[in-house]
């Protein structure tokens, strides 16, 4: 199969998966060999095993990093620091995309950046929603309260013995008025962890003082 034929067959898709490869060629194994060659020429970019994207000049859609994160490892939803940046809960944007998954902890690095996946038990895989990214594709991201709680839970040791000013001094939280206190408290109880609940109490006290 010629590259131009392949490009025309897949350029409407944001990513190229093994399924696409099987659908566009009667000889998928041969096409996989060709993909390796096109990759060396910079025509195709490998995101992970079995997942590719056309080079910047040839692709029609520029996928968002949230979309890429969801696609690289599923089930997952974007959370913690990257979600903070999305919700403007911190003043800076975050380079690495961290997601929550029920699978084992994982990490993928490709030309689009570093994508981290933190494992949580199935009973803590909640509190995320589907939104549309800039391309109109559905993506999964934590609700702001869940993003905060995931961060607290995964970094609990860093909060031990710290006073409430840790939220402004160490983590530079801002715009905390978007957090719903009842939802934050209700979600915190589901972690069944005293440390998480204590940190949330500190956070609520800090939020009260900020008003």
pTM (two decimals): 0.92
> Are both 90 and 130 inside the same structural domain?
yes
- Within a domain: residue 59? no
Among residues 54, 81, 97, the one where a domain terminates is: 54
Within this chain, do residues 29 and 89 fall inside the same structural domain, yes or no?
A: no
Q: Let me know whether 40 and 138 are in one domain.
A: no
Contacts 24+ apart (CB under 8 A), 42-48: 43/3, 43/7, 44/16, 45/110, 45/111, 46/110, 47/15, 47/72, 47/108, 47/110, 47/112, 48/72, 48/108, 48/110
Considering its fold, how many domains does the chain have in total? Answer: 2
Q: Which residues pair with 131 in a beta bridge?
A: 139
Each of the 211 residues of the chain gets a pLDDT tens digit; together they read: 899 999 999 999 999 998 888 888 888 889 989 999 999 999 999 999 999 999 999 999 999 999 999 999 999 999 999 999 999 999 988 999 999 999 999 999 999 999 999 999 999 999 999 999 999 999 999 999 999 999 999 999 988 878 777 887 778 889 999 999 999 999 999 999 999 999 999 999 988 876 4
> Based on the domain organization, do 29 and 119 belong to the same domain?
no
Give the pair of three-digit tokens for residue 199: 């940190």
Residue 12 shares a structural domain with residue 83:
no
Question: Does any domain span residue 76?
Answer: yes
Regarding whether 156 and 113 lie in a shared domain, the answer is yes
What is the DSSP code (8-state) at residue 136?
Answer: S
| Domain annotation covers residue 60 | no
Residues 143 and 75 in one domain: yes
Same domain for 146 and 72, yes or no, is yes
Let me know whether 41 and 126 are in one domain: no
If DSSP codes are grouped into helix, strand and coil, which group holds residue 116?
strand
Domain that residue 170 falls in: 65-210
Residues 39 and 82 in one domain: no
Task: Report residue 29 as tokens.
Answer: 């194994």
């Amino acid at each position: 199969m010629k590259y131009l034929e392949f490009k025309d067959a897949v350029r409407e898709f944001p990513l190229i998966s093994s399924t696409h490869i099987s659908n566009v060629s009667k000889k998928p194994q041969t096409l996989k060999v060709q993909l390796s060659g096109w990759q060396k020429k910079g025509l195709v970019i490998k995101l992970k095993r079995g997942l590719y994207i056309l080079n910047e000049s040839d692709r029609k859609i520029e996928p968002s990093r949230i979309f890429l994160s969801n696609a690289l490892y599923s089930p997952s939803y974007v959370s913690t620091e990257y979600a903070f940046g999305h919700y403007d809960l911190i003043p800076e944007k975050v380079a690495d995309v961290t997601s929550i998954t029920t699978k084992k902890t994982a990490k993928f690095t490709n030309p689009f950046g570093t994508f981290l996946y933190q494992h949580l038990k199935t009973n803590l895989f909640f509190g995320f929603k589907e939104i549309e990214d800039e391309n109109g594709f559905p993506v999964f991201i934590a609700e702001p309260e869940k993003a905060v709680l995931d961060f607290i839970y995964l970094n609990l040791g860093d909060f031990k013995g710290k006073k409430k000013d840790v939220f402004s001094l160490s983590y530079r939280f801002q715009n905390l008025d978007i957090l719903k206190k009842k939802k934050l408290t209700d979600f915190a109880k589901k972690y069944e962890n005293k440390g998480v609940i204590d940190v949330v109490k500190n956070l609520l006290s800090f939020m009260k003082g900020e008003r």
